[in-house]
Amino acid sequence: MSARLVQQELASNYIGASKHVTFLHYGEEGARPKIYIQAALHAGEMTGTLALHHLRGLLDREVEAGTIRGEIILAPLANPIGLGQFSAGDQMGRFETQSLVNFNREHLDISPDVAGLVAGVLGDNSAENVRLIRAAALSVLGEIPETSEWLSLRKHLLLRAIDADVCLDLHTDMEATMFMYINAFDWPALEDLGRDIGCRAIVSLDPYVPSRTFAGVVGGLWPRLAAAWPAASIPHACQTAMIEMRGRHDCDDAHGSLDALNLLNFLRRRGVLSGDAPPLPPSQCDCVDVEGMDVGYAPAPGFTVFHRKAGEEVTPGDHICDVIDPTAADFTLSRMPVYARQTGTIYARALDGIVVTPGKVLFRIAGGARLPHRLGRSWLDD
């Protein structure tokens, strides 16, 4: 017994060539709760994919044991377009080369069309409202014409995720701890997820980020409709998280199997699988507002040498890294230091020895104090 494997063909941009995205389905369609997990939306980010590979093995055993109660959909390779983009031997998985759009931006905000469909039929029965809104969302998505490969991919990912109770989008950073970005509406509801997967940082975001990340449009549907229909009872019916599953050098079976087991525990804790989940692990971090996220930027062209690792605790003034220009006219000015401006955890940083241009994001620190240089800014600056 194993997953039901669905290969969804995508509309093609190219004569005589087409791609497909693969979904692994567990449980009865329509069973609740439904949890959707995708990985590698930025194509080459494989730590989440490795976790889902291990999770597939664990879930196949759950199928044999008859413990699947809800519905689970996994998309271990969510971006076949990016997986096929190579230039001179290097994979180019972050931006679509046709449109130059970041694969985790410009996802489809269907909330205006859904609002149009449910106008006048929502009332004070929140469960019925959820059912009506989910049906309307699937109907709106089904009508979207697939005029390009990238639009087709966005549509088919959303068709699996939009009616989920929980939607997880798994990424890989450069060098990083386990951390996640969540919709501000989803805290503390997602505290169990953060503890189960061992997050060292959790950053809460404005749910209406205009750049439309995948998790942003899936989770944002509900608060947007609640704002449009304040008289109706509309719960926030889908919790979403964009999880960075450490850094690109952490793609090994020890981490992958641990992450899969942690995700399995979360699925059981949420009732998708029958049986008792183990006790919730202790929390390793608080949830901080995005305005408490310090970001270090490259001050000039050069290459990076770091003095602090991801996961370390720092305070303002700590010397995090240098950007070095060995050809500077004055040797004493060839190292440009970059300092922390927050008390907290360095949860993500660039690699050592990479060549950077001015403004390149070098590191991120999560802390509780709101920072003057971050007020009103999102985290989407790379």
Binding-site ranges for Zn ion (CB under 5 A): 42, 45, 171
Closer of 140 and 242 to Zn ion (Cβ): 242
Q: For residues 40 and 76, what is the distance between their CA atoms, to the nearest angstrom?
A: 7
Closer of 103 and 306 to Zn ion (Cβ): 103
Q: Which residues pair with 102 in a beta bridge?
A: 95
Residues 6+ apart with CB under 8 A from 103: 41, 42, 43, 79, 81, 82, 93, 94, 95, 96
Q: For residues 96 and 92, what is the distance between their CA atoms, to the nearest angstrom?
A: 8
State the minimum distance, in angstroms, from the CB of residue 363 to Zn ion: 17
Residue type, 158: L
What's the token pair of residue 233?
A: 């009872």
Closer of 85 and 111 to Zn ion (Cβ): 85
Closer of 62 and 96 to Zn ion (Cβ): 96
State the minimum distance, in angstroms, from the CB of residue 290 to Zn ion: 17
Residues 6+ apart with CB under 8 A from 102: 94, 95
Q: Which of 306, 293, 319, 285 is nearest to 350 (CA)?
A: 306
State the minimum distance, in angstroms, from the CB of residue 244 to Zn ion: 7
Closer of 318 and 382 to Zn ion (Cβ): 382
State the minimum distance, in angstroms, from the CB of residue 120 to Zn ion: 40
State the minimum distance, in angstroms, from the CB of residue 48 to Zn ion: 9
Closer of 2 and 99 to Zn ion (Cβ): 99
State the minimum distance, in angstroms, from the CB of residue 104 to Zn ion: 6
Closer of 79 and 239 to Zn ion (Cβ): 79
Task: Please list the alpha-helical segments (H only) found in 310-377.
Answer: none
State the minimum distance, in angstroms, from the CB of residue 350 to Zn ion: 14
Under 8 Å between Cβ of 248 and 173: yes
Burial label, 355 (beta-carbon count in 10 A; 0-12, 13-18, 19+): exposed
